[in-house]
Structure 1
Amino acid sequence: MTVPEDAAALVQPAFDELAQLSFAEHSLESVLRKVTELATRILPGQPIASVTVVGEGRPSTVATSGDLALRLDEFQYRTGAGPCLQAATTGQPAAVADTRADSPWPEFAAAAAADGCGSVLSYPLPVQESVLGALNLYAREMAVSGARTQELISRLAAYAVGPVSNMYLYESAVERAEHLEAALRSRAVIDQAKGILMERYKLTADQAFQVLARVSMQRNTKLRDVAGHFVLTGELPQA
């Protein structure tokens, strides 16, 4: 299948839609759905999209628009080879123009063909704060076989990686902030419980902490929950 001559005219409006995405109104999944919607609108083959992120040396799919993409992502993670890993770790686009033809990843290509995927393009996310990743497009038809088609996909992917990457970083920052807030709350209640124990039983700070830790281990209960119960009731849970 080839790209219609007027397909390029659809690209700029798609870019404009991506540029107008707001963090306040979207999640990573909804941004990806928008990217997929636009890809389906302007590209042949009805591609399905996913986003691979490599964190702490381990790849994972942080968002996907369909099971086909998730299955083929995870196949690459299990075997340690494929275009999504290549793009994410090298910063260079990687493609399988025809999964039924020769490929640098024959095992992956065979699995993709057997799953009904005709072609694949993975485009690297720009490195930000040591985040490595790739935007992956899986097409059931030969969507990346022609030079003009691949150029169009590359332009779309290159423009899409900005909002996708930024949304991932934004959500990661929010999650880290929530974890930090929870950690601070836990520390506050533990310090409060220690203070009560120190005052009531004339213990040192270390002795008070050891009391809480011992009850936590004996009851197989989180330390902050033991501390919270003690602050609320004035009583330590019994082992």
Structure 2
Amino acid sequence: MLRDVSVEQRAYIDAWLQDLVLESDDVGQFLTELATFTIESFSPSGSTVHCGVTLLRGRKATTAASSDAKALAVDEAQNSFGEGPCLAAMEVLRPVLVRDTATEQRWPRYMRAVRREGIGAILAVPLMVDGDTRAALNLYTEAADGFSSQDVERAEMFAAHSAKALRLALKIAGLTEARNDLVAAMRSRTVIDIAIGVIMAQNRCSQESAHSILIAASNNRNVKMRDLAATVVDSVAPETEVVTHFQE
């Protein structure tokens, strides 16, 4: 069902995925575009293909993206049952194929659910992600025996390319989160330092004593130090925006 993938097409896929990482606002957008691109990489062959992307963190599996409502429904059904080809693929780290949902003996509750959605065959391919996070591409089609052994091999290739891009997207998201945390910490530090200066002036005390006064007040009032510091600053300079000089 997948179109034959030449060296040129592989290079195109890699370039497209790299551009997608750079252009996506977040990991969710990246995965949604990936799901759409996945089904576009399949030839129709008289049957529609649906795609979902599942993320597993700890013991909780969630549908991170889907190409359409049907893919979302069958993905969510699998997560609610806690069993199925996608979860199995992430556990064994190799593709899991359901040739015909009408004759598949594994995961009987889930098979009944997908048959009600008109799904005839399923192919789940793991995405190799770093750390405790696991992911999988889930491909669904209405046709029984809709995925050949060649399709499995080609889907593995596509998943390998996609996994590299996903790892990059996750690392960029992690760096962005770390940067935001750093900026927030520096802003908190600025507010606290200004508040300590105010307390020093009001109490004619040392910086260490002013710091101790602020800590004690924070503990006694059960208020975060940053919030209490902001109150102190506002008491002497109402509605003044505290600016942190942060050079990137």
Give the TM-score taking structure 1 as reference length.
0.76
Is the 1:216–1:226 Cα contact (8 Å) retained in structure 2?
no
Taking only aligned residues, the RMSD between alpha carbons, in angstroms, comes to: 3.1
Aligned to 1:18: 13
Q: How does 1:105-144 map to 2 (within 5 A)?
A: 105-142=107-144, 144=146
Aligned to 2:105: 103
Query: Hey, what's the Cα distance between the residues in 1 that align with 2:49 and 2:220?
Result: 56
1:37 aligned to 2:43? no
Query: Hey, what's the Cα distance between the residues in 1 that align with 2:153 and 2:71?
Result: 21
Aligned to 1:189: 191
Look up the equivalent residue of 1:160 and give its one-letter code.
S
Runs of 4+ in 1 over 4 A off after TM superposition: 10-14, 213-217
What is the deviation of 1:144?
Answer: 4.4
Aligned to 2:172: 170
Give per-residue Cα distances to partners, 1:75-94, cap 9 Å, x unaligned.
Answer: 22222211222222332222
1:75 aligned to 2:77? yes
Look up the equivalent residue of 1:66 and give its one-letter code.
D
Look up the equivalent residue of 1:72 and give its one-letter code.
V
Query: Hey, what's the Cα distance between the residues in 1 that align with 2:196 and 2:99?
Result: 64
What SS does structure 1 have at the residue aligned with 2:61?
Answer: strand
For structure 2, the 5+ residue unaligned runs are 239-248
Give per-residue Cα distances to partners, 1:177-236, cap 9 Å, x unaligned.
Answer: 32342233224323432443354245552431232455565xxxx653443243244289
Query: Hey, what's the Cα distance between the residues in 1 that align with 2:152 and 2:115?
Result: 19
Look up the equivalent residue of 1:25 and give its one-letter code.
E
What SS does structure 2 have at the residue aligned with 1:24?
Answer: helix
Provide the aligned length of Structure 1 versus Structure 2. 227
Which of 192, 209, 218 matches 2:215?
209
Percent of aligned pairs with the same amino acid: 26
Look up the equivalent residue of 2:33 and give its one-letter code.
R
Q: How does 1:219-238 map to 2 (within 5 A)?
A: 224-234=226-236
